[in-house]
Structure 1
Amino acid sequence: VRKMDSLPRTELFDFHGVSMTHSFTNNWENIQSFQARPDDILIATYPKAGTTWVSYILDLLYFGQNSPERQTSVPIYERVPFLELAIPIMDSGTDLADRLPTSPRLIKTHLPVQFVPKSFWEQNCKIIYVARNPKDTVVSYFHFERMAMNLPEPGDWSSYVQRFMQGKVVFGSWYEHVNNWWQKKDTYTKLHYMFYEDLVEDTGREIDKLCSFLGLSPSVEEKRTISGGVQFDKMKINKMTNYSTFKDMDFNISPFMRKGKVGDWKNHFTEAQRKEFDEDYEKKIKDPTLHFRVEI
């Protein structure tokens, strides 16, 4: 058996104007022709924005009561398939989604809005977008790239911050991603845009908003149970949500679920980096209605 670290890391390339790797473009025709159903729910995020968290919340809201056995036997990445993922060690995301036995199907994606398969719009599917402030995102992504073997080698922290600002990371520019999805909600009404920081601040409140968007009315007790069960420390030790069963990650380098905090960026950014990053942010996020919190 070859050790993980002996496998070559993937390279970034420009894919229709967005930095990508082959793990997410190999299956492109099947992704683009994917047939969504009207009750599908798409969870869309830029990487490291709380995707697994929101996936788990939705999975519990829909299936926690009536099929509890899924919670202990099926890892989250099979319950909520990653649409564009196509790596040799497992079935493609489109195949996993096609085989989902649940209704609704919960599907996750990191695709920029312009790459989302047409059928999701045509079927008028509900879409939940989660955004996280860029400073915590870049820190989390840096640590994730160190341990995720199907992603490029991140290099050192200071060069990584530069690459992040340039959009030279997988799934491209964070700024374009959050901006374009934010604008989409003006023309597409079934899009619920939420913020990671709000979830950290008051998980219960955000679950209420999700329920009202989805037309769900769980009991107070059910909501309390879900809110408690999805806290970071619980998910971090839950083998079905912490990705410890996923073959392509090296937990000796970093856990998949690292801290889940708001403001950890302060432990990474130098004052000079912060200043440069803030100036860059001001140039790229021009919409005054899109507001991110870097601490709570």
Structure 2
Amino acid sequence: MARLDDTETFHNIKFPGHMHTQDSLNYAANFKFQDTDTVIVTYPKSGTTWMQEIITLVLNKGDPALARSQPNWSRAPWLEQYYCPQILQASTGPRIITTHLPYHVLAPALRDSKAKVIYVARNPKDVAVSYYHFHKMANFLPDPGTFSEFLSDFLKGTVHYGSWFDHVKGWTGHAQNFQKFLYIAYEEMWQDLRGSLEKVSRFLQCSLTEEELKSAQKYCSFNSMKDNIMVNYTLIPREIMDHSKGKFMRKGKIGDWKNMFTEEQSDVFDAVYSARMADSSLLMGIL
């Protein structure tokens, strides 16, 4: 399924047609969750791959065998992408499901479920920079133009997958509606990976021994994931994701936006952030 130049619009949000169809998006919106499901929810470029790896390693007691032998999109498929039903039909045991869908689309399906929801958020300035670079190497996303042009679209919420502000506020603002909901920041994972692993293991009620924790920490470090072909997307054909134009796992650092933003761009971003997040208690450390 190529459809590299196609775009699907669903609930007024644009999705790349390469992996999404109207049928797949409707499938996600009406999905029957199981109480044993663990759902990773993120806006793109916010730590999705990292959390997929963390959960895989926690549930496997630090054993990297699965994480290094099965692609992450097979271990934790994206619910809204067309291949998901086939993966889930073949799965056994508790399922890990990934989604970039906004709260208002997926909430009805999750409303009566006891599925565990883990929401990962990242400083939106770093998200914008990472997302811009991703557009340059992902041939299923439109040409981002200049960074200034892309940043303008990002702030307006007209990029693929919609508004960062709406996504984060939608999920974190309704956390009380879920029986089992964990919020974790990308910055927290970067600054205290061990503590983040412990937090996730407690949430999943899967305790780790000291040795299991050390192993999990080793194999979900950025450098380990960057070299793992089951995670770094080098298995994807070049015509779909061109690694000669950039790396899927580029830097992973926090605060890299400072190397990209002008002072004026930062000031404009801060003003939009203050206005859009005024009714949210979520602080991302950019102001």
**What TM-score comes out, normalization by structure 2 length?**
0.92
Alignment CA distance shift 1:99-1:33 (3 Å): farther
How far residue 120 of structure 1 moved from its aligned partner, in angstroms, is 3.2
**RMSD of the TM alignment (CA)?**
2.0
1:281 aligned residue (273, 277, 280): 273
Q: Is the 8 A contact 2:4 2:141 kept in 1?
A: no
Which of 113, 117, 130 is the matching residue for 1:127? 117
Q: Are 1:18 and 2:13 counterparts?
A: yes
Secondary structure (helix, strand or coil) at the match of 1:73 reads coil
Deviating beyond 6 angstroms after TM superposition, the runs of 4 or more aligned structure 1 residues are none
Tell me which residue corresponds to 1:290.
Answer: 282
Q: Which residue of 1 aligns with 2:244?
A: 252
The correspondence for 2:88, drawn from 78, 91, 97, is 97
Q: Are the equivalent residues in 2 in contact too, given 1:10–1:152 (CA < 8 A)? A: no
Q: TM-score, normalised by structure 1?
A: 0.89
Following superposition, the deviation at residue 288 of structure 1 comes to 5.0
Following superposition, the deviation at residue 177 of structure 1 comes to 0.4
Match of 2:26 among 26, 29, 37: 29
Q: Distance in 2 between matches of 1:115 and 1:24?
A: 15
1:207 alignment counterpart: 197
5+ residue gaps, structure 1: 87-91
For residue 97 of structure 2, give the secondary structure of its aligned residue in structure 1: strand
The aligned length equals: 282
Unmatched 5+ residue regions in structure 2? none
Matches within 5 A, 1:1-296: 9-11=5-7, 14-22=9-17, 23-26=19-22, 27-64=24-61, 69-86=65-82, 92-101=83-92, 103-116=93-106, 118-247=108-237, 248-294=240-286
Q: What is the CA deviation profile of residues 168-216 of structure 1, one whole-angstrom value per residue up to 9, with x for unaligned ones?
A: 1111000010011111112223110110000000011111111221112
Q: Which moved more, 1:56-65 or 1:236-245?
A: 56-65
**In 1: Cα distance, 2:9 partner to 2:236 partner:** 27
Matched-pair identity in %: 36
CA contact (8 A) 1:31 1:94 kept: no
Using a 3 Å threshold, how does the CA distance of structure 1 residues 230 and 69 change in structure 2: closer, same or farther? closer
Contact 1:136–1:294 (CA<8 Å) still a contact in 2? no
Aligned-pair CA distance for 1:16: 1.9
Cα distance in structure 1, aligned partners of 2:128 and 2:234: 22
CA contact (8 A) 1:43 1:107 kept: yes
Tell me if structure 1 keeps the 8 A contact 2:39–2:98. yes
